[in-house]
Structure 1
Amino acid sequence: MSTATRRERGAASSASLRHRMAERGVDRKLLMLLPAILFALVLFVYPFTYGIGLTFQPLQGTVDKWGGGIFANYVAFFGDSFIFDSIWITMRLALPAALFNVIVSVPIAFKLRRKFRGKRFLSTMLVLPITLGTVLTAQGLLIFAGRQGWLNRFLIQSGIISDPLQLVNNYLGVTFTLVISGFPFAYLLISSYLSGIDPSLDAAAKTLGANWKQRFMRVTLPLLAPGLATTFILTFVLAFSVFPSARLVGDPLGTTRVMALMAYRSFAEQIDYSMASTIAVMMGVIELIVIAIVLLGRSFLYKGSTGGKG
């Protein structure tokens, strides 16, 4: 066999291999994913695995107090009521705030689907808190609703109350900030899903004699269910990881002793990186449990394709 023939066969074999790989979706274009994969490995995968590894390296003091060997941090997490109770405190803040934002966003998004004068201005006002940030929102709440804030001074000078209302540095203050910062995201997401639901479906149900409640429960809500689940999940995760507002307008050692504060306390005050990592891991586990429950509930409510664009 001549050299030229072997080269031709080798080229044909190489071309055939490339063709078979391309049929399986593997070609040179995949090389463009390498920077993204490297970015994910450096900024997510490695820190994540390193953090999990830290949880199995407890300080000697933790081992001596709680035992458990390499699981001493987890034993301490579930055994120390000061840390473990932060789960329920965080849930008491995150769940009501997420539910409120989703429930309130639905009728407002319905109303703003129609064209009317001032719609653009009203929509802008609703999403404006996104630009403020958590710290600025907390500072504004202190100025407005603090003991010496505008609201209390107005009420006292008007003779409506004699003592200032305690609206910040407690559970209410943090809840207000979570609602203010989380509502714009809920509203935008639900509006996106609603915009993808064909209005003719509602009109058809109306012509068949269905009232607004029947149309909403049997037509709109099933189509909106995936969007509601997604919106709740995102707003819940946003609220569950609350930190600045819990410290600035809350009661860090009492009613707003959230898990993020406990992780910060272990990291910055006690210099216990392994316990801080353990609390962070448990935060992720709890969030995943809530997400799984929400998605399971959505599957019972509606199993078809999504109706919105979101």
Structure 2
Amino acid sequence: MSTLALPVQRDPKRFLVAPALIFILALFIYPFIYGLVLSLHPMNGGGAWANYIAFFTDTSMWPTIIVTLKLAVPATVINVGLSIPVAFALRRNSPYQKIVTTLLVIPLTLGTVLIADGMLTYFGPNGWFPQALQGLHLYSDEVRLTHNYWGVLISLIVSGFPFAFLLTLSYVTGIDPTLARAAATLGASPWQQFQQIYLPLLAPGLTMAACLSFVQAFSVFPSAILLGAPAGPTRVISIAASEAAFESYDYSLASTIAIVMGLVQLLLVAAMLGGRRFFYTGPVTGGKG
């Protein structure tokens, strides 16, 4: 008697593992290893760590870390901080939520270069905003919102806030609303509901939003050139890497600066993720009836 062979059940996820590993290896691991090895081979010799010693002893290079942090940290705090009240105001599914989210997607699609170009038109010395302030006699002196620190910071807020808001909105709408209603029946005020319920539940999500916003802001380059003073107060670390690569043609030093840039970001992201464990990490979603 012949038996009918049953087809072998194959897990379709197994066929996605190899392409995913190749993708990660090609786009992340190999470039990092290549850049690290290149940074350890200085163009002018002097040992494997010569580029790193040159970076941290050159007064025109290592301060770029501080300059970049002075831009990235405030921009991250402002973007994430502003996204919380706006997300709470629009957490219910309504036409206003769809309109606002659609409008905030526009800066994400434009990119930093077009945002900077628009800011030069509207916030520059001859733009409508300074002229309006002077025409209304609200400010008599010259209004300078470009080609300085404030121009770059405003650009980071304009380009980074939509990203932080959309992340925060997804976290806020994922919290079970029955938790706040139960607290309200026990006499909790709206502020107590936010402080005792929403904030601990939002902390892990806000940490991720802050990490992504910080990495985005720390890699500022076009805004620092178009809206800042690249030879002065907005000479960020990415400009130093660009000058080493395309002006001095020292790709080894440029790779060193890029490695330092990545390490600084990694340290701050690790610190933020480490602080996340002090908050609630359990499930936050449930029935939204």
TM-score by length of 1: 0.84
Taking the aligned partners of 1:31 and 1:193, their CA distance within structure 2 comes to 32
Q: 1:286 aligns with which of 264, 280, 284?
A: 264
1:82 aligned partner: 60
| Cα deviation code 1:41-89 (max 9, x no counterpart) | 33332222111001111122x73xxxxx210001011111210000110
1:271 aligned partner: 249
1:221 aligned partner: 199
Cα distance change on mapping 1:308 and 1:279 into 2, 3 Å = farther
Supply the AA of the counterpart residue of 2:148. Answer: N
Report how far residue 148 of structure 1 moved: 1.2
The number of residues matched between the two structures is 279
Supply the AA of the counterpart residue of 1:35. Answer: P
SS in 2 for 1:250: coil
Query: Would the aligned equivalents of 1:171 and 1:256 in 2 still touch at CA under 8 Å?
Result: yes
Taking the aligned partners of 1:95 and 1:285, their CA distance within structure 2 comes to 16
Taking the aligned partners of 2:112 and 2:239, their CA distance within structure 1 comes to 15
User: Does structure 1 residue 48 correspond to structure 2 residue 26?
Assistant: no
Report how far residue 127 of structure 1 moved: 3.1
Matches of residues 222-301 of structure 1 in structure 2 within 5 Å?
Answer: 222-301=200-279
Report how far residue 128 of structure 1 moved: 2.4
SS in 1 for 2:92: coil
| Cα deviation code 1:151-187 (max 9, x no counterpart) | 1223334444444311001100000110001001111
Q: Which of 41-50 and 212-221 deviates more?
A: 41-50
1:103 aligned partner: 81
User: What CA RMSD, in Å, does the superposition of the two structures yield over aligned residues?
Assistant: 2.2
| Cα deviation code 1:69-122 (max 9, x no counterpart) | 210001011111210000110000000000001111001100101355644323
Query: Would the aligned equivalents of 1:225 and 1:298 in 2 still touch at CA under 8 Å?
Result: yes
Taking the aligned partners of 1:29 and 1:246, their CA distance within structure 2 comes to 43
Taking the aligned partners of 2:106 and 2:23, their CA distance within structure 1 comes to 32
Report how far residue 32 of structure 1 moved: 4.0
1:154 aligned partner: 132
User: Does structure 1 residue 307 correspond to structure 2 residue 284?
Assistant: yes
SS in 2 for 1:81: coil
User: Does structure 1 residue 133 correspond to structure 2 residue 115?
Assistant: no
For structure 2, the residue ranges without an aligned partner over 5 or more in a row are 1-7
| Cα deviation code 1:119-157 (max 9, x no counterpart) | 432332233211211000000000001011111223334
Taking the aligned partners of 1:306 and 1:80, their CA distance within structure 2 comes to 49
Identity of aligned residues (%): 47
SS in 1 for 2:61: helix
Taking the aligned partners of 1:120 and 1:43, their CA distance within structure 2 comes to 35
Supply the AA of the counterpart residue of 2:32. Answer: F
Matches of residues 201-220 of structure 1 in structure 2 within 5 Å?
Answer: 201-220=179-198
Supply the AA of the counterpart residue of 1:81. Answer: T
Taking the aligned partners of 2:11 and 2:105, their CA distance within structure 1 comes to 43
Taking the aligned partners of 1:96 and 1:120, their CA distance within structure 2 comes to 28
1:38 aligned partner: 22
Taking the aligned partners of 2:94 and 2:23, their CA distance within structure 1 comes to 46
The structure with the largest helix share of the pair is: 1
Which has the bigger relative contact order, CA under 8 A and spacing at least 6?
2
Report how far residue 271 of structure 1 moved: 0.5
Report how far residue 308 of structure 1 moved: 5.8
Q: 1:175 aligns with which of 153, 156, 166?
A: 153
User: Does structure 1 residue 59 correspond to structure 2 residue 37?
Assistant: no
Taking the aligned partners of 1:41 and 1:301, their CA distance within structure 2 comes to 33
